[in-house]
Structure 1
Amino acid sequence: MRVHFIAIGGSAMHNLAIALHLKGFHVTGSDDEIFEPSKTRLQKHGLLPAKEGWNPQAITTELDAIILGMHAKKDNPELLAAQQLGVKIYSYPEYLYEQTKDKKRVVIGGSHGKTTTTAMVMHVLKTMAIDFDYMVGAQLDGFDTMVKLTREAPIAIFEGDEYLSSPIDLTPKFHWYKPHIAMLTGIAWDHMNVFPTWENYISQFTKFAQRIENQGALIYFEGDEELRKLAKNQKQALQVIPYNTAPHQLKDGQAIVGWERKTYPMEIFGEHNLQNMNGARLICEQLGLTAHDFFTAMQSFKGASKRLQLLKKKEGTNIYLDFAHSPSKLQATTKAMKEQFTNRALIAVMELHTFSSLNKAFLPQYKNTMNTADKAIVYYNPDVLEHKGLPALTPEEVIVAFGREDLQVMTDSLELVKWLKQQNYTDTNLLIMTSGNLSGINLKDLAEELI
């Protein structure tokens, strides 16, 4: 198979390119800019384009498929050439389905917790020496790539993102996968730039459920009102399975799960994580594992990158990084930190970075989401607002939206770093929540400097 990637440098795209290369495909690609770590990883596998830029001459009828990334535009010269020649064009998720349509597909969707739950299932299957293909939205410990595709594996585990598939395919990605086993973690309005209303956003999950294969299973978080409604309306041929938080107790700052008269001390903590874990257990039981096998394997799971990731610790102080940017995740993550470390103060820093979070119409969704933190700081870069074509935002507007009068709002990352270095971290944890990096700050280095 000869496959060409338009915009090969993307996080998801370069991982799929490597996966197909390792499967034995002849892979080429192009991009107008490729950053690290994509650049080094493509180079390692001999897939880095000889030069940056678009090359329509590379598009010929000898290609079996074009895979089009979101970074490309509709008038991309390579895309126009492919359309003119009639070469088959796939979006990234469409091609993943194409490669796994003869396998048992497991898809984990929801507004939050997708990556963590997918990572849990992958960790357990790997620990139990079960072969599987996968696609996950973060680089995980123990896995070389974010995508693996083989001829042999009977199972495919996918993180199911609801964002759009490609510039010419406005289908939400997870609509392509047609799972046999599906899990939904919860619904909280996100991607306002694509789904402008709550009703429009919810409808994407209804359509996802309608695409589950006959005799398949829908596993859903019972504490979510919208998911309860969705589950009630499913076709009779579907097995509908609710889950809640895994039964546990906190002992000496550690979550200990109790199941069938046995106890399993865990590395992870927080009610949201323990909910995700219980959903992951049900997926693994659908795949033939026992609860004992699952919880035993989960004891060595340390979490996914940027999902309550421990950056640095010393006596009385932990510094965590979390991908939290949506209101529900922000609230759940700060609450989990306070519940886990009851004798420590919590400093919580959140970066407004996504289109939704920087949008004045969406900002009120954040009301009271940081109230469990002892000190709360919101940072945003005014240049990002301008880059996204959004109206300017004042610190006062952010304070009103979050509903916390003592909220500190900063717009200069160097000022934020200076403030963090002035804090006393005795019996105090720091939680940094961002889908970015505070405008170019190396957060691991910062954690080292702070404690």
Structure 2
Amino acid sequence: MKTHFIAIGGSAMHNLAIALKDKGYQVTGSDDAIFEPSKSRLDKKGILPEELGWFPEKITSDIDAVILGMHAHQDNPELAKAKELGLKIYSYPEFLYEQSKNKTRVVIAGSHGKTTITSMILHVLNFHQKEVDYMVGAQLEGFDCMVKLTQDNDFMVLEGDEYLSSPIDLRSKFLLYQPNIALMSGIAWDHINVFKTFDDYIEQFRKFVASITPGGILVYNEEDAEVVKVVEAAENYFRKIPYKTPEYEIINGKVHLKTEMGDIPLSVFGAHNLLNLEGARHICQHLGIMDEDFYEAIMSFKGASKRLEKVEREDKGILYKDFAHAPSKVKAAVKAFCEQFKNEKKYGFLELHTYSSLNPVFLEQYDHAMDGLDEAIVFYSEDALKIKRMDPISPDLIKEKFKNEGLKVFTNAEELHAYWETLDKTNGVFLMMSSGNFGGLDLTK
């Protein structure tokens, strides 16, 4: 099968391209910007475009499938040529469904926790050498590629994202998967550039539940009121299985899960991760993994990449980075960090740089998000606001919305870096929350 990727360099797209190459497909692609690690990984497989840019001449009538990434625009010249030739054009999730339509599809959805839960499930399956197809949004220890597609595996585990599918398909990605088994971890308004109201956002999850195949299974977080409302309002037929935070305690700085089989020591911490773990356990049961085997495997799970991930520093200081930037994720990360390090001086840094997080209306969602920290710092770039053509935001407004008078606010990367240099990294613990890089801050030094 001959496939061509428009915008092959994306984090998701390049993994799918590699998976298809490994499956024996003929793979080509284009992009106008490709960064690491995508560049090296594509090059290693021999599918890195020879030059950057869009080349309509690459689009020929013998291509079986064109896969269109979100990075491309509607007026992309390669897309125009594919339409002109009448080629089959897929979005990323549409093609994944096409590859898995004869398998049992397991879809993990939710505003927060979906990457970690998917990662936990794959870690357990990999530990016990159970083969499944999969797609997950974070790099996992023990996995070379974050997409796997085969002819033979019976199950496919998919991280279900509610964001848009492609520039020409404005449906949420997870609406294309039609799960046989689904999980919903939580609902908290996000992506306000696309979903203008909270109800519009919730509607995507209503549609997701409605897309579960007849007689399917939904595992859901019964501690999330919005999730419960969506589940209770569903009119289609499926089995409903609730889960909640299991009992645990922290002994000598290590989390121990309380189970019928005794205390299970874990390598992760935080109540939200224990909740994620419980959801993963229920899904694994439906994949044929007994609880005893689940607990044996999950003890060695160290977390998904950038999710409360410990950074090895030259000075041996204790520092964790977290991909958190949405309000619900920030609150969960801060709560976990404060619980884990009760007796230490706790510093928390948050970078605001997404469209949603810099919107004054949305900022109200961050109220009390940094409470419990001894030093709370928020950084956003005034230049980023200009690039996004957004109105200026005052530091006083940030403090007001966070409801935190002691909050330190930086709008200039150089000033933030200067403040960072004044801190003794061996005296206290540090939580760095961002989907960016704090203006190029080196967290290892």
Partner of 1:21: 21
Offset at 1:52?
A: 1.0
In structure 1, C-alpha distance between the alignment counterparts of 2:254 and 2:90, rounded to whole Å: 46
In the alignment, what sits opposite 1:181?
181
Identify the residue that residue 206 of structure 1 maps to in structure 2: 206
Alignment of 1:46-125 (within 5 A): 46-125=46-125
Counterpart of 1:364 in structure 2: which amino acid?
E
Deviations 1:356-402, CA, capped at 9 Å, x for gaps: 00111111111111011111000011122122222111211111111
Matched AA of 1:174: F
Contact 1:7 1:13 in 2 (8 A): yes
Cα–Cα, structure 1 residues 322 and 235, in superposed 2: closer, same or farther, change >3 Å?
same
Does structure 1 conserve the Cα–Cα contact (< 8 Å) formed by 2:206 and 2:234?
no
Q: Distance in 2 between matches of 1:244 and 1:202?
A: 21
Deviations along 1:246-278, one digit per CA (max 9) or x if unpaired, are 221111111111211422100001000000000
Tell me how far apart the structure 1 counterparts of residues 153 and 30 of structure 2 sit (CA, whole Å): 29
User: Within 2, Cα distance between the matches of 1:262 and 1:291?
Assistant: 12
Q: Which runs of 4+ in 1 moved over 4 A?
A: 313-317
**What's the offset of the Cα at 1:234?**
2.9
Question: Given that residues 316 and 344 in structure 1 are in contact (C-alpha distance below 8 angstroms), is that contact kept between their aligned partners in structure 2?
Answer: no
Provide Cα deviations, 1:268-321, integer angstroms capped at 9, x if missing partner.
010000000000000000111111111110000000110000003699952000
Percent of residue pairs bearing the same amino acid type: 52
Contact 2:327–2:366 (8 Å) recurs in 1: yes
Structure-2 change in CA distance of 1:3 and 1:405 (3 Å): same
- 1:315 and 1:41 map into 2 onto residues whose CA distance is 31
Q: How does 1:226-265 map to 2 (within 5 A)?
A: 226-235=226-235, 237-265=237-265
For residues 305-346 of structure 1, the C-alpha deviation after alignment (integer angstroms, 9 at most, x for no partner) is 100000036999520000111111111111111111111121
Counterpart in the other structure of 1:149: 149
How does the TM-score come out when normalised to structure 2? 0.97
One-letter identity of the residue aligned with 2:18: I
Residue 271 of structure 2 aligns with which residue?
271
Task: Tell me the SS of whatever aligns to 1:158.
Answer: strand
Deviates more, 1:316-325 or 1:192-201: 316-325
- 1:168 corresponds in structure 2 to 168
Partner of 2:432: 432
* Alignment correspondent of 2:305: 305
Matches within 5 A, 1:5-16: 5-16=5-16
| 1:230-379 alignment, distance < 5 Å | 230-235=230-235, 237-312=237-312, 317-379=317-379
Using the TM superposition, give the Cα deviation of residue 78 of structure 1 relative to its aligned residue in structure 2, in angstroms: 0.6
**1:118-142 deviation line (CA, Å, top 9, x unaligned):** 1000000000110011111111111
Residue 217 of structure 1 aligns with which residue?
Answer: 217
Can you list the C-alpha shifts for 1:86-144, whole angstroms capped at 9, x where unaligned? Answer: 00100000000100111111111111111111100000000011001111111111110
Given the two structures, how large is their TM-score scaled by the length of structure 1? Answer: 0.96
Q: How many residues align?
A: 445
Q: List gaps (5 residues or longer) in structure 1.
A: none
SS of the residue 1:84 aligns to: helix
Of stretches 305-314 and 3-12 in structure 1, the one that deviates more from structure 2 is 305-314
CA shift for structure 1 position 435:
0.8
Q: Distance in 2 between matches of 1:199 and 1:438?
A: 32
1:316–1:428 contact (8 Å) kept in structure 2:
no
SS state at 1:41 partner: helix
What is the distance in 1 between the residues matched to 2:440 and 2:109? 30
For the structure 1 residues 314 and 373, does the alpha-carbon distance in structure 2 shift closer, same or farther, using more than 3 Å as the test? farther
Q: Which amino acid aligns with 1:102?
A: N
- 1:235 Cα deviation after fit: 4.0
